[in-house]
Amino acid sequence: MLSVLVFALLPLLSFKTVPSHGPAKYPISWILSKACSLKVNGSTNINKFNCTIPDYPLPDTLTFSKEKNTASIRISGAMVLEVKNFDCHHPIMTADLRKTLKVKEFPKITVTFISLSKYPEHDNENITGTVTIQLAGATRRFEVDYRFTQQNDETLTLIGTKQVNFSDFNITPPRKLGGMIKTDNELSVEFILKARILK
């Protein structure tokens, strides 16, 4: 009898329950918090670097609205970040990245959120979406993998990851000493959205 009960309860016990924010009523607005960040990981032939814009001072809003007859969600809103706030945890690498991203000509990175495959509702849910990234004067559209987590009723986290190339933005990866030290073209970009729902 006990084993039957345990067996019956097992599916319930094996999933973390998430505080629900109820049935979605569109449009839904998320207020981005200061804890939003952007990380860039890359490498040269002599080292790896990881650079972060660790916080986000602008109280921007993302608005989610439903596409007709599909699960996909349209988003309006963007993150606008200052290139000068990149910190690579090494002053020389920090200065070089800012120069590479042409901070004087193009001081901002803009991530514009276009759509999601579905509205995130469950903890550790993986979804996909579309963004445009404007960097160094070039704007490119990317498909992004997201992971959604919800710490409590208030704080929502959406982590988007994407492999991009310097060349996508018409940037030549830095090369020093006649090309003996070369930066790899590929970069891993991760943007972490921390938000709460506007009620």
Partner 1 sequence: MKKIILPALLAGTLLFILSYSVLYFGIRCFPELFMDYNSPLFNSDGNRDALFYMHPFIISFALSWFWDRFKGLFKGNFLLRGLEFGFVYGIVALLPVMWITFSALDISILMVLSWFFYGFAQALTAGLLFAKINP
Write down the least CB distance from residue 103 to partner 1, Å: 10
Q: For residue 49, which of 39, 59, 58 has the smallest C-alpha distance? A: 39
CB of 133 to partner 1, least distance (A): 22
Q: Which CB sits closer to partner 1, 73 or 103?
A: 103
Nearest approach, Cβ of residue 3 and partner 1 (Å): 59
Is residue 42 a contact partner of residue 188, using CB atoms and an 8 Å limit? yes
Residues 44, 48, 54, 58, CA torsion sign: positive
Three-state DSSP class for 34? coil
**Binding region for partner 1 (CB under 8 A):** 44-47, 90, 92-93, 95-96, 98-100, 172, 174-181
Task: Select 59 or 178, whichever has its Cβ closest to partner 1.
Answer: 178
Q: Is 113 in contact with 129 (CB distance < 8 Å)?
A: yes
- Measured from the CB atom, the residue of 29 and 50 that comes closer to partner 1 is 50
Contact present, 196 and 31 (Cβ < 8 Å): yes
Residue 108 Cβ vs partner 1, minimum distance, rounded to whole Å: 20
